[in-house]
Chains A and B, each alone.
Chain A
Amino acid sequence: MTRTVMIDPVTRIEGHAKISIHLDDAGKVADARFHVTEFRGFEKFCVGRSFWEMPGITARICGICPVSHLMASAKAGDAILGVQIPPTAEKLRRMMNWGQIIQSHALSFFHLSSPDLIMGMDSDPAQRNIMGLIQQDPELARKGIRLRQFGQEVIRTLGGKSIHPAWTVPGGVREPLTAEKREKIATMLPERFDLIETALDLVYNAHETFANEIGNYGDFPSLFAGLVGPDGELEHYNGLLRVVNSEGKRVEDGIAPEKYREIIGEAVEPWSYLKFPYYKPLGYANGAGMYRVGPLARLNVCDFAGTRRANRALHEFRRLMKLDKPVSGTFYYHYARLIEILFCLEKIEDTIQDPDILNTHVRSQANVNKLVGIGVSEAPRGTLYHEYHIDEHGIIKEANLIIATGQNNLAMNKTVRQIAEAYVDGNNLTEGMLNRVEHGIRMYDPCLSCSTHAVGQMPMHVQLLSPDGEVLDEKIRG
Chain B
Amino acid sequence: MTNKIRLGTAWLGGCSGCHMSFLDLDERLLELAAAADLVYSPIADLKEFPEGVDVALVEGAVANIDHVELAKKIRERSKIVVSFGDCAVTGNVTILRNRFGVDDLLTMVYREGPGKAPLGHEADGIIPYLLPKVLPLHQVISVDAYVPGCPPSADRIWAAVTALLRGEKVSLEEELITFG
> A residues touching B (Cβ–Cβ < 8 Å)?
6-9, 11-16, 18, 20, 35, 37-41, 43-45, 57, 60-64, 66, 107, 111-112, 125-126, 128-132, 134-135, 138, 141-142, 145-146, 148-149, 152, 161-164, 265-273, 275-276, 284, 435, 449, 454-457, 459-461, 463, 471, 476-478
Contact B128 A37 (CB under 8 A): yes
Contact A43 B151 (CB under 8 A): no
Contact B45 A268 (CB under 8 A): no
Pairs of residues from A and B, 8 with the lowest C-beta to C-beta distance, nearest first: A63-B17, A478-B46, A129-B44, A60-B93, A478-B47, A125-B45, A41-B97, A268-B115
Q: Given A6-B126, A15-B16, 7 more contacts at CB 8 Å? A: A7-B47, A43-B109, A112-B43, A162-B24, A163-B151, A459-B47, A463-B126
Sampled A-B contacts (21; CB under 8 Å):
A11-B44, A38-B13, A39-B105, A39-B106, A39-B109, A40-B13, A40-B97, A41-B109, A45-B105, A126-B45, A126-B46, A128-B45, A131-B37, A145-B27, A163-B24, A266-B113, A268-B113, A269-B118, A271-B118, A284-B115, A478-B50
Contact A44 B105 (CB under 8 A): yes
Complex CA gap A456/B106 in Å reads 12
Contact B44 A16 (CB under 8 A): no
Contact B115 A163 (CB under 8 A): no
Proximity string of chain B (76-109) to chain A, C-beta cutoff 8 Å, 1 when within and 0 when not = 0000000000000000111011011000111011
Chain A residues in 8 Å Cβ range of B128? 37
> With A63-B16, A449-B14 given, is the CB distance from A477 to B109 under 8 Å?
no
Contact A61 B15 (CB under 8 A): yes
Contact B16 A129 (CB under 8 A): no
Contact A35 B46 (CB under 8 A): no
Contact B45 A435 (CB under 8 A): yes
> B residues touching A (Cβ–Cβ < 8 Å)?
11, 13-21, 23-24, 26-27, 29-30, 32-33, 37-39, 41-48, 50, 63-64, 66, 92-94, 96-97, 99-100, 104-106, 108-110, 112-120, 124-128, 130, 150-151, 153
Chain A residues in 8 Å Cβ range of B44? 11-12, 128-132
Contact A269 B30 (CB under 8 A): no
Contact A273 B16 (CB under 8 A): no
Chain B residues in 8 Å Cβ range of A435? 45
Contact B151 A63 (CB under 8 A): yes
- Smallest Cβ-Cβ distance to A131: which chain B residue: B38
Number of A-B contacts (CB under 8 A): 215
Contact B16 A62 (CB under 8 A): yes
Chain B residues in 8 Å Cβ range of A14? 16, 42
- Smallest Cβ-Cβ distance to B111: which chain A residue: A268
Chain B residues in 8 Å Cβ range of A7? 47
- Smallest Cβ-Cβ distance to A478: which chain B residue: B46
> With A164-B151, A271-B127 given, is the CB distance from A64 to B16 under 8 Å?
yes
Q: How far does the Cβ of B24 sit from chain A's closest Cβ, in whole Å? A: 6
> With A11-B45, A40-B94, A145-B29 given, is the CB distance from A63 to B113 under 8 Å?
no
Contact A449 B15 (CB under 8 A): yes
Contact B30 A63 (CB under 8 A): no
Q: Which of B15, B17, B19, B126 is close to A35, meaning CB atoms less than 8 Å apart? A: B126
Chain A residues in 8 Å Cβ range of B127? 35, 37, 270-273
Q: How far does the Cβ of B68 sit from chain A's closest Cβ, in whole Å? A: 13
- Smallest Cβ-Cβ distance to A457: which chain B residue: B11
Complex CA gap A14/B115 in Å reads 26
Complex CA gap A267/B110 in Å reads 8
> With A37-B66, A37-B128, A39-B120 given, is the CB distance from A60 to B150 under 8 Å?
yes
Chain A residues in 8 Å Cβ range of B48? 476, 478
Complex CA gap A164/B180 in Å reads 9
- Smallest Cβ-Cβ distance to A58: which chain B residue: B93
- Smallest Cβ-Cβ distance to A270: which chain B residue: B116
Chain B residues in 8 Å Cβ range of A40? 13, 63, 94, 97
Contact B30 A138 (CB under 8 A): yes
Complex CA gap A128/B47 in Å reads 13
Contact B66 A459 (CB under 8 A): yes
Contact B16 A461 (CB under 8 A): no
Complex CA gap A111/B26 in Å reads 11
